[in-house]
Structure 1
Amino acid sequence: MSFFDRFTKSNNPLLKEESLSRASSSTLDGSIIERADDNVMTVSGAVNKSFLMGLLLLLTATYSYANPSGLFLWGGAIGGLVLVLIMSFKRHLSPTLAPVYALLEGLFVGSVTAIYAAGFGAGIVFQAVLLTISLLFMMLFVYKTGLIRVTQKFRTGIMMATGGIFLVYLLNIGLSFFGINMPFLHEGGMIGIGISLFIIGIATLNLLLDFDSFDQAAAMRAPKYMEWFCAMGLIVTLVWLYIEVLRLLSILSSND
């Protein structure tokens, strides 16, 4: 199965329904088991793990923001990606690797934030953090009140849109090695702003899929380690959303 197939068949690039179901009912050798209540995932447990990972990310992000370097930027980005890929195949390693991922991702986020702050002022950082947190709680309210229901059609549509965006990202990265930039993707003007708003919209809707994954995994009585795995999926979405909000604010600042 290709990477794109794996991506588009999941709630989140990391949280596949079939994976959650398989993890909830079998051991590493595939045998079916019944878990005690203290050995299964709970929503509150996943939320607590998410907060912990957020604090770890904030810790290293603060350090790398104050001491930006290319090593932190690329080391955090590549190291975080490698850990995500490992956990995608070895979910039982999440309790060990997910905190390390948060620390590495913090190095990346802090370095990116420092770059934007140097170019557009520290105020853009506060605005981006505030908007990201606001979007998080807004979508949590939307999910809990059922204003938007996570149906299979909704899930499939968001997955396809997310997969398409990441394919564009990959294509843009590949073209950049030849000195070519995709038009409008990182540019100002109404088209550039519209593209940025669309990407932010898709990233925000992915939060609904993350919340739904918490509930699904808990309902399936997934093993305890899935709390870390699901928490990591939420952190991945939040980092993506934050970076895109920073990008939009920088575009708007450039147009002033």
Structure 2
Amino acid sequence: MNFKSRNPFLNNKSFTATSRAEQVHQATVIGQDQEMTLSGTINKTALLFLLLTASAMVIWWMAFNGMNPILPAIGGAVVGLVLVVISAFKPQYSGYLAPGYALFEGLFIGGISAIFEAQYPGIVIQAVGATFATFLVCLGLYKYQIVKVTEQFKSVVIAATFAIATYYLISWLVSLFTSFQPVHYGNSMMSIGISVFVIIVAALNIFLDFDRIEKGVQEKMPKYMEWFGAMGLMITLVWLYIEFLRLLSKLSSKD
């Protein structure tokens, strides 16, 4: 069974050959300097990372100087989500939306990191290190084709991703209106196991990001797709980082 993603960042028509053919049919001339390139995507990913880090550091500093980081974190998460949704359906505006996403998501990351660090000193550097290590391992496995992104691979990862999203949403709604405590809360072995599973799925999504970017370059997508691809990769890395924070906090609370 082939699961089709409803997430525009996982299965966006802008990254398909059909879309490219439509652009040619419409007589839209795209020069080589206006085509998506791998180096351009890498540079834009690095820029988004710097913007996110700078924004997070500001909130981090303010939090440890007495400011409550909850409001900036919530505000950043909401605005970041809105920008992601807009960019998903209007990728041609990614050049403006992606930097905005990085800045606002930085507020969320900085606030959440400060909260976790206050409870578990040293946890942030561990989560950052684990996220970068996972990214580098995935990059190496993809570059040397040890892991190949087949249609079956995509179907499994996308299905698992949507299963996790559905579980999180239902658990949140149920806990919001009842006294039910979802199984992934707390530091039980079951909860830790769920966190490990989610981290694995998040890491597998990195391979989908790499494949999508590579296909975009091969299909000679427009230049603005560099921003779109970089934004998609940043979304996955943010998710991975948050899940590492959750897992490490569970492990620390058991000590």
| TM-score (normalizing by structure 1) | 0.91
> Which of the numbers 15, 21, 30 marks the counterpart of 1:20?
15
Amino acid corresponding to residue 20 of structure 2 in structure 1: S
Cα distance in structure 1, aligned partners of 2:164 and 2:238: 15
Aligned residues: 247
- State how far apart, in whole Å, the 1-side matches of 2:182 and 2:174 are: 11
Q: Distance in 2 between matches of 1:26 and 1:32?
A: 9
2:94–2:227 contact (8 Å) kept in structure 1: yes
Deviations 1:213-237 (A, max 9, x none): 1100011111000000010000000
Fraction of identical pairs, as percent: 44
Match of 1:5 in 2: none
Partner of 1:83: 83
Over 3 Å counting, the alpha-carbon distance change for 1:171 and 1:50 in structure 2 is: same
2:56 to 61, 81, 84: 61
Name the TM-score, length of structure 2 as normaliser.
Answer: 0.91
Secondary structure of the residue aligned to 1:9 is coil
Q: Report the equivalent of 1:94.
A: 94
Question: Is the partner of 1:185 in helix, strand or coil?
Answer: coil
**RMSD after superposition:** 1.9
- Residue equivalent to 2:240: 241
Q: Which runs of 5 or more structure 1 residues have no equivalent in the other structure?
A: 1-7
Distance 2:129 2:7 in 1: 24
> Residue 119 of structure 1 aligns with which residue?
119
Contact conserved, 1:26 with 1:33, CA < 8 A, in 2?
A: no
Counterpart contact for 1:76–1:105, Cα < 8 Å: yes
Give the structure 2 partner of residue 3 of structure 1: none
State the match for 2:110 in structure 1. Answer: 110
Cα separation, 2, equivalents of 1:137 and 1:19: 27
Cα distance change of structure 1 residues 85 and 247 upon mapping to structure 2, 3 Å threshold: same
Q: Hey, what's the Cα distance between the residues in 1 that align with 2:221 and 2:105? A: 26
User: 1:131-150 CA distances to partner (integer Å, 9 max, x unpaired)?
Assistant: 00000000000001111110
Matched residues in 2 for 1:10 and 1:34: separation?
30
- Distance apart, 1:17 and its partner CA: 5.3
Cα distance in 1 for partners of 2:229, 2:120 equals: 34
After the TM superposition, which of the residue ranges 183-192 and 42-51 deviates more from structure 2? Answer: 183-192
Deviation at 1:189, TM superposition (A): 1.9
Residues 11 and 209 of structure 1 are in contact (CA less than 8 Å); yes or no, is this contact kept in structure 2? no
SS at match of 2:128: helix
Encode CA deviations 1:108-158: one digit per residue, 9 max, x unaligned: 00000011001111x111100000000000000000111111000001100
